[in-house]
Amino acid sequence: MSRVVLIDAGGSNIGSVQYALQRIGVEAPLTRDAGQIRAAERVILPGVGAAMPAMQRLREAGLIELIRQLQQPLLGVCVGMQILFERSEEGDVDCLGLLPGRVQKLAGGEGLRIPHMGWNRVFKQQADEPLLVGIEDGAHAYFVHSYAVLDLSAAAAICEHGQRFVAVARRGNVAGAQFHPERSATFGARLLENFVR
């Protein structure tokens, strides 16, 4: 049994997420095997691209209900986080519904480019959030996205790019990171270590 598994939902960041986990001493196989996912202690759902094709790949693999029923800690990354919510405007698609809120296009504004790409500060919403232990409030993380969750009810940490959005989400065993932990240096490595622990 693998202690940590990565769900193969497609996306170009899967290899870099695997490598980031290897750097902290964790071997996490990439899988669509329901038994392997169900047996893991921790499950990570990475994704790059758009919500509609990510949901389609999960549907084709027969994994949607399995993911909804997981009791162990689940971490979504980037689009993998977005599809944990109820619905996405990107492709107008129903998502997994594990977290409250919907994914909306960032508005941008004067001097603000969309996609939001690059380093930005992340601010904790709960000082005792286990995913953020050892991470300084206002630390920088690396973002690449045009859509975000603006409803902050499940936010463990927020970021701002013209408007405030969820940077880290958590409710019960379900968590997500809008930024890329695999590209976010010490912050990203610590978040992954906290999740694995």
pLDDT of the residue at 15: 74
Catalytic residue chosen out of the listed positions 65, 86, 182, 193: 182
CATH of domain 4-196: 3.40.50.880
Q: Is 19 left (phi over 0), alpha (psi -120 to 50) or beta?
A: alpha
Q: In whole angstroms, give the CA distance from residue 80 to residue 44.
A: 8
According to the model, what pLDDT value does residue 12 have?
A: 55
180 is catalytic: yes
| Structure token pair of residue 80 | 């993998």
- Angle 11-100-161 (CA atoms, 0-180°, nearest 5)? 65
Q: Which H or E run includes 145? A: strand 140-145
Among 41, 159, 180, 193, the active-site one is: 180
Per the residue annotation, which of 60, 78, 116, 140 is the catalytic one? 78
Instruction: Going residue by residue through the chain, which has 197 residues, state the pLDDT in tens, using 9 for 90 and above.
Output: 469 999 987 665 677 888 899 999 999 999 999 999 999 999 999 987 889 999 999 999 999 999 999 999 999 999 999 999 999 999 999 999 999 999 999 997 788 899 999 999 999 998 899 999 999 999 999 999 999 999 999 999 999 999 999 999 999 999 999 999 999 999 999 999 999 98
Domain ranges within the chain, ordered by starting residue? 4-196
> Is 78 annotated as catalytic?
yes
What pLDDT is recorded for position 111? Answer: 84
HSE-CB at 150 with a 13 A cutoff on CA atoms is 11
Residue 116 is a catalytic residue: no
For residues 126 and 103, give the distance between their C-alpha atoms in angstroms, rounded to a whole number. 22
| 88 to 138, 148, 149, 157: CA distances (angstroms) | 27, 9, 9, 20
C-alpha to C-alpha distance for 130 and 186, rounded to whole angstroms: 16
